[in-house]
Structure 1
């Protein structure tokens, strides 16, 4: 029969709470008792039960993650980073895919409350008053990931989207491009879309290009490869003299390149394309994508650490944390032919 915490306490001659402290906060137990407990654990081959720990500490040792699209390649690194941090910190991770549906997201918050998760990472979505009110009513600690709220005081972690977009477009300008288009998000709730557009326009202006004259070249797509393909068709039908496209996601860049290839347009020979995110496929796609790298693993890892800090102390040292992006130069962008 599997040993229980009660068996360990009896063999060590201590209370159940002392065994729990040794398992979770050994420095709080005097060395003599700690040694007895550890000897009993080894003798009985005892493995702590997370449910039992939860009863003692009134915690589930589970974190929730809300993401809008689990098929999006961007979230693979995020989830991996969060999982790694959870393993280190002693949490399990529960992932819910919202499909960007408000009713579904609200339902998942209810589910997290019922499961008594200790905190939630809220990724890549706008924090509406309705979401905030429910989270506040349930008193669930929340950290926003790849997003932030100007309306509510919620800890967040992300990259500087405007600065990253600026660097991408500045690089294209440095290659001699003037007629630079942008493939942006058409989601009205997008948090990263507006600052990336702002970075695009600022880079054009700083590069001596009339940004207003290029606004017609700003096209929008939903969230997938095929939507970007369609938007690229619209762009090049209207503006066939476009020499470069800044895409706000690598999947958009791949959709744009695919359209150009189908039209017999070489990339980067005739048109340069730069992406955003640096998903794993970016280095495999042909041509390999020049892109803005987001540190997805680190974003996921830090979001879990930040949430743990909020859960255990009631606050975070940095309210709005920003990690560094990096321009990755590969094959899809070149000088003007």
Structure 2
């Protein structure tokens, strides 16, 4: 048995095909009584508008593409949850592209999204390289950035103030009486998160009369293994320290593991603050004190902004969302 068509709906409701189309696309030109008849026929027949046909009418596919650096990570999954939640509520489908942490598949997936004729793109995969921007511009679709921004191009974004959040984390350790504070930073060249978080750490020290020491900074790549390597370097080469700020939860947890292996207790021997508030920051022991990024909310906000642009908004305002520090059990008050 063939699925019902728009003609079947028109026949069942006693109106023209054009009227059914206007009702389904929420256009004007019909009475409320007619609308109710059409919707009743749609429900009784089980009619589902064909996505391709819809696209021919409104020149949209009702799909958005999302580029994430690691689809299996807790960080990406929380953002995606927010994106999909809003997109689904507004009748859009989501195509998720796993670009890999180094972005090696980004160009490939941008081409795929162009071929799929997505209506817009959410980009969360780190720095927006110029080659990515050129492809996105050729696609002629709106773009929203999450957890990153472009200093060169006017593209709306959703992110926290990384510099201020890192300042907050470092100042918290200072308020707890710590004077010798080390940091595991992100990559030294990352202008989106790595450098701003390092600058926030440095500024908090200097504002409180403490010396910034390059020897107390080690660089990771925001991942657990790199966090372990950075912690081993600090314990071996840095001047003694009683507290550590890590620029991601994964690096903080890697550092906690190394401390345990070296016979150091957290927080008795070393206090540690992370960044992100991923789900496993609550699962480790002791639970990690960390900077909370509202990742799911950021995903929802980005999705709302993008769909507003798709549906005709001339522009949307970028959003700097609030962070907050979550106190758990990895920081002690110094005597």
Length-normalised TM-score, structure 2: 0.94
Is contact 1:250–1:278 with CA below 8 Å preserved after alignment? yes
3-state SS in 1 of match to 2:96 = strand
Residue 329 of structure 1: aligned partner: 327
Deviation (angstroms), 1:157: 0.6
Residue 304 of structure 2: aligned partner: 305
CA offset digits 1:94-127 (Å, max 9, x no partner): 1001114455211111110110100000004111
Is 1:257 the counterpart of 2:256? The answer is yes
Unaligned runs of 5+ in 1: none
Residue 92 of structure 1: aligned partner: 93
CA distance in 1, matches of 2:29, 2:20: 11
Structure 1 263/20 Cα, relative in aligned 2: closer, same or farther at 3 Å?
Answer: farther
CA distance in 1, matches of 2:29, 2:292: 42
Structure 1 96/224 Cα, relative in aligned 2: closer, same or farther at 3 Å?
Answer: same
3-state SS in 1 of match to 2:72 = coil
CA distance in 2, matches of 1:244, 1:92: 45
Residue 174 of structure 2: aligned partner: 173
Deviation (angstroms), 1:151: 0.2
Deviates more, 1:33-42 or 1:262-271: 33-42
CA distance in 2, matches of 1:234, 1:101: 23
Deviation (angstroms), 1:260: 0.0
Is 1:50 the counterpart of 2:57? The answer is no
Deviation (angstroms), 1:240: 5.5
Residue 294 of structure 2: aligned partner: 295
Residue 243 of structure 1: aligned partner: 242
CA offset digits 1:162-200 (Å, max 9, x no partner): 111111001000001111111111263451111111111
Is 1:38 the counterpart of 2:39? The answer is yes
Is contact 1:243–1:336 with CA below 8 Å preserved after alignment? no
CA distance in 1, matches of 2:107, 2:178: 45
CA offset digits 1:3-51 (Å, max 9, x no partner): 1223212322334443233234266743132122112112212233333
Deviation (angstroms), 1:224: 1.9
Matches within 5 A, 1:202-281: 202-211=203-212, 214-239=213-238, 241-281=240-280
Structure 1 18/101 Cα, relative in aligned 2: closer, same or farther at 3 Å?
Answer: farther
Residue 126 of structure 1: aligned partner: 127
CA distance in 2, matches of 1:6, 1:98: 43
Structure 1 33/60 Cα, relative in aligned 2: closer, same or farther at 3 Å?
Answer: same
CA distance in 1, matches of 2:163, 2:329: 24
3-state SS in 2 of match to 1:69 = coil
Structure 1 117/28 Cα, relative in aligned 2: closer, same or farther at 3 Å?
Answer: farther
CA offset digits 1:251-301 (Å, max 9, x no partner): 011000000000000000010000000011111111101000000110000
Is 1:151 the counterpart of 2:149? The answer is no
CA distance in 2, matches of 1:105, 1:111: 10
Unaligned runs of 5+ in 2: none
Deviates more, 1:67-76 or 1:260-269: 67-76
Is contact 2:291–2:326 with CA below 8 Å preserved after alignment? yes
CA distance in 2, matches of 1:124, 1:207: 35
Is contact 2:69–2:76 with CA below 8 Å preserved after alignment? no
CA distance in 1, matches of 2:39, 2:154: 43
CA distance in 1, matches of 2:72, 2:284: 18
CA distance in 1, matches of 2:4, 2:97: 34
Is 1:113 the counterpart of 2:111? The answer is no
Structure 1 188/71 Cα, relative in aligned 2: closer, same or farther at 3 Å?
Answer: farther
Deviation (angstroms), 1:209: 0.7
